Amino acid sequence: MNLFGNIDVMNKVLDATMLKYNVISDNISNEDTPGYKRKDVAFEALLEKEIDKKGVKNINIDKISPQIYIDKKNYSSRIDGNNVDIDTEMAEAAKMKLKYDTLIERTSSQLNRFKTILQTIR
C-alpha cells in the first residue's frame, strides 16, 4: 500500500457507504410496492475477507467492489410479497448517515495531517 493507501481505502468505504444509503433510500421508496424485495449492499465482509487473506498493507482496494443483492428474497410477512420493514430501513439509514459523517471527519483529519507534514517540510 502506498503513502496514500489509507485515503484510498477510506474513499472506497465512503463510496460503499453512500451506495448502501442510496439502496436503503430505494427500499424506503418502495415500501408500498407489491412484490418489491429489499436490497442490501455487501462490502464490509468482502473487505474483511481480503484483509484476512493478504493483510492490511497488501490489499488491492481497487479489486474490492460493493455488491448489491436482494436480501431475503424468499421471505415476506406481507400478503403483497413485499419484504421491506420501514422501521428497520429508517434505523439503517440513520446508521449509514452517522457512519458516512464519521468517515468524512476521519478522512478530513488524515488529509490535514498530510497538509501539516508537507508545510513543515518546506
Write out pLDDT tens, residues 22-35: 999 999 999 999 99
For cell 474483511, name the residue. Answer: 48
Q: How many domains does the chain have?
A: 1
Calculate the alpha carbon distances from 104 to 31, 61, 97 in Å: 30, 18, 11
* Domain that residue 116 falls in: 5-121
Q: Which of 13-22, 50-59, 97-106 has the lowest mean pLDDT?
A: 50-59
Q: What is the pLDDT of residue 122?
A: 67
Residue 14: pLDDT band with limits 50, 70, 90: very high
Indicate if the pLDDT at residue 3 is higher than 60: no
Write out pLDDT tens, residues 50-98: 888 887 777 888 888 999 999 887 887 789 999 999 999 999 999 999 9
Q: What is the pLDDT of residue 1?
A: 45
Cα angle value 77/23/111 (rounded, 5°): 145
Rounded to whole angstroms, how far apart are CA atoms 69 and 89?
15
